[in-house]
Amino acid sequence: MPEQDELVLATIKKIMPYGAFCSLDEYQNREAFVHISEVAPRWIKNIHEFLHEGEHVVAKVYNLLLEKNQIDLSLKRVTPSEKKLKLEMVKRTRRAEKLFEVSVSEAKLSPVEALVARKKLVTKYGDLFDALEEISASGDEALKDLKLDRGLAKALVTICQKSIKQAKAKLKGLLKMQSYEANGIEVIKKALGALSAPDTCQMTITYLGAPRYQIDLVAPDFKTGEKVLDEIVGSLESKAGKNTSVSFERIKEEN
239 CB-contact burial (10 Å; exposed 0-12 / middle 13-18 / buried 19+): middle
Name beta bridge partners: 12. Answer: 22
Q: Does one domain contain both 173 and 206?
A: yes
pLDDT band for 3, please (50, 70, 90 cuts). very high
pLDDT of residue 194: 81
Q: What is the CATH number of the domain that holds 141?
A: 1.10.150.190
Q: Does one domain contain both 88 and 21?
A: no
Alpha helices (H) along 35-183 = 80-107, 111-125, 128-138, 150-163
CB atoms within 10 A of CB 72: 17
Rg (CA), the chain: 23
212-241: pLDDT as tens digits: 888 888 888 788 888 899 888 888 887 777
Question: In the listed set 77, 105, 129, which residue is the last one of a domain according to the structure?
Answer: 77
CA–CA gap between residue 238 and residue 187 (Å, rounded):
12
62-120: pLDDT as tens digits: 999 988 889 999 999 999 888 988 898 888 899 999 999 999 999 999 999 999 999 99
pLDDT of residue 158: 96
* Number of folded domains that form the chain: 3
Q: Does one domain contain both 179 and 249?
A: yes
134-171: pLDDT as tens digits: 999 889 999 999 999 999 999 999 999 999 876 678 88
Q: Does one domain contain both 178 and 245?
A: yes
Q: Does one domain contain both 98 and 159?
A: yes
CA–CA gap between residue 169 and residue 43 (Å, rounded):
36
Structural domain including 121 reads: 81-163
Mean pLDDT estimate for the chain:
89
Q: Does one domain contain both 47 and 88?
A: no
Q: Does one domain contain both 105 and 150?
A: yes
pLDDT of residue 203: 87
Q: Does one domain contain both 173 and 127?
A: no
Question: In the listed set 44, 77, 110, which residue is the last one of a domain according to the structure?
Answer: 77
Q: Does one domain contain both 157 and 213?
A: no
CA–CA gap between residue 113 and residue 96 (Å, rounded):
17
Q: Does one domain contain both 178 and 237?
A: yes
Q: Does one domain contain both 151 and 86?
A: yes
Query: Is-contact 9 29, C-beta < 8 A?
Result: no
Q: Which helix (H) or strand (E) holds 219?
A: strand 212-219
User: Is residue 2 domain-resident?
Assistant: no
Q: Does one domain contain both 182 and 218?
A: yes
- What is the pTM (predicted TM-score) of this model? 0.57
Question: In the listed set 56, 77, 98, which residue is the last one of a domain according to the structure?
Answer: 77
Straight-line distance from the first to the last Cα atom of the chain, in angstroms, rounded to the nearest whole number: 32
pLDDT of residue 201: 86
